[in-house]
């Protein structure tokens, strides 16, 4: 009985989408957090309400600077975000930090964990930190992060920092939802250069070498020189921007202002060429197709008749009695596709 009462209280007002939207546009943090929880819910009625809310808020989105940040474990992503976010709020910006970590059930990702890692921002009234959902596929987590980003923009946050905690495809996903993709590296270019993935570098708007402080300054500068040489053999992502390589220290704050200056210079260059608007349009269409794929997969998993047929089809394909193409066609016909 008590559980039903709690659910009823949590659902109160969900049918008044315009009121929720007004509260979010007014910057009410409690309502924003509640709306994000609504977006992350798997309940069909919540998902329907979330879609309506995002649509209602759409005109109030799109004006923030969206920055994706990635880097190898131990590079200092959280410390960097804490330093950069504090630098930005100190200059009057409203900063939202979102994370993408589909493996967080294994890594222990949580609201408490993220706020512990970013201690200064956690207590900053001009900042908002939100982790990815505690579980799910990369596509599902990314979808929720995109919608959360729109809600944060509608709430008045003018800088969105999206941290990728995972590796591989998560980096591509973050690059596909942001304007500027920042790759963090460590001093000591030798071994690190070997691990510099070509795919990540090709989509980077900037490489920043952290921990350029104390005895590490010379090593950081040497690493930066190596990365610059590596970038010369790759084609830049944009004809209007050649990715720079900078050094900085998240610990002391040295170089943080310069790092942000490059973000602004990149935005100015892409706005002047029209590429920023084009990139945003392409991202929206790509997001639409991702959502379509998720809905189709959802139907596959929820349709009793298809679920009953799938094991036999999988067994036939595995045994070589049925080609994957014929099996896929049978499933598509069952879906009405």
Angle at 266 between CA 144 and CA 254, to 5 degrees: 90
pLDDT number for residue 295: 81
Class of domain 1-60: mainly alpha
Average pLDDT over residues 128-148: 77
Angle at 143 between CA 294 and CA 41, to 5 degrees: 85
From residue 11, how far is each of 2, 37, 44, 49, 142 by CA, in Å? 14, 11, 13, 10, 24
Q: Where are the domains of the chain?
A: 1-60, 61-273, 284-335
Topology (CATH) of 284-335: Helix Hairpins (1.10.287)
pLDDT of residue 201 exceeding 80, the answer is no
Split at pLDDT 50, 70, 90, the class of 137 is low
**Nearest CA-CA partner of 69 in 227, 258, 259, 241:** 259
pLDDT tens sequence across 35-44: 999 998 888 8
d(CA 288, CA 286): 5
pLDDT number for residue 304: 87
Average pLDDT over residues 55-65: 95
Mean pLDDT, the chain, integer: 85
Domain 61-273 has CATH 3.30.590.10: no
pLDDT number for residue 102: 64
DSSP state of 241: B
pLDDT tens sequence across 151-172: 999 999 999 999 987 556 778 8
Strands (E), 64-212: 65-71, 95-100, 127-130, 159-164, 180-185, 206-209
Q: What's CA 246's distance to the chain center, in Å?
A: 23
And the tokens for 180? 């500027």
pLDDT number for residue 321: 94
pLDDT tens sequence across 285-329: 988 988 888 888 888 878 888 888 899 999 999 999 999 999 999
């Amino acid at each position: 009985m008590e559980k039903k009462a709690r659910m009823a209280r949590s659902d109160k007002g969900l049918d008044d989408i315009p009121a929720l939207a007004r509260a979010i546009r007014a910057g009410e943090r409690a309502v924003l957090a509640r709306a994000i929880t609504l977006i992350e819910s798997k309940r069909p009625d919540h998902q329907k309400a979330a879609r309506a809310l995002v649509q209602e808020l759409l005109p109030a989105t799109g004006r923030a600077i969206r920055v994706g940040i990635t880097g190898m474990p131990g590079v200092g992503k959280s410390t960097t975000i804490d330093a950069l976010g504090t630098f930005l709020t100190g200059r009057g910006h409203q900063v939202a930090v979102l994370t993408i970590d589909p493996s967080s059930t294994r890594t222990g990702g949580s609201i408490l964990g993220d706020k512990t890692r970013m201690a200064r921002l956690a207590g900053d009234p001009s900042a908002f930190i939100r982790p990815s959902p505690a579980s799910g596929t990369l596509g599902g987590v990314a979808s929720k992060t995109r919608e959360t980003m729109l809600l944060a923009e509608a709430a008045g946050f003018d800088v969105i920092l999206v941290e990728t905690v995972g590796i591989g495809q998560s980096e591509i996903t973050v690059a596909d939802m942001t304007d500027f993709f920042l790759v963090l590296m460590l001093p000591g270019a030798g071994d690190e250069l070997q691990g510099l993935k070509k795919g990540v570098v090709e989509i980077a708007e900037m490489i920043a070498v952290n921990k350029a402080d104390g005895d590490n300054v010379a090593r950081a500068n040497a690493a930066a020189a190596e990365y610059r040489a590596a970038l010369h053999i790759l084609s830049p992502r944009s004809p209007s921007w050649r990715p720079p390589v900078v050094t900085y220290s998240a610990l002391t704050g040295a170089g943080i202002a310069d790092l942000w200056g490059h973000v602004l210079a990149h935005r100015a260059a892409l706005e002047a060429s029209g590429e920023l608007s084009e990139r945003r349009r392409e991202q929206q269409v790509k997001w639409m197709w991702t959502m379509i794929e998720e809905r189709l997969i959802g139907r596959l998993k929820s349709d009793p008749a298809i679920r009953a047929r799938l094991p036999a089809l999988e067994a036939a394909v595995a045994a070589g009695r049925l080609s994957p193409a014929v099996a896929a066609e049978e499933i598509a016909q069952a879906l009405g596709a």
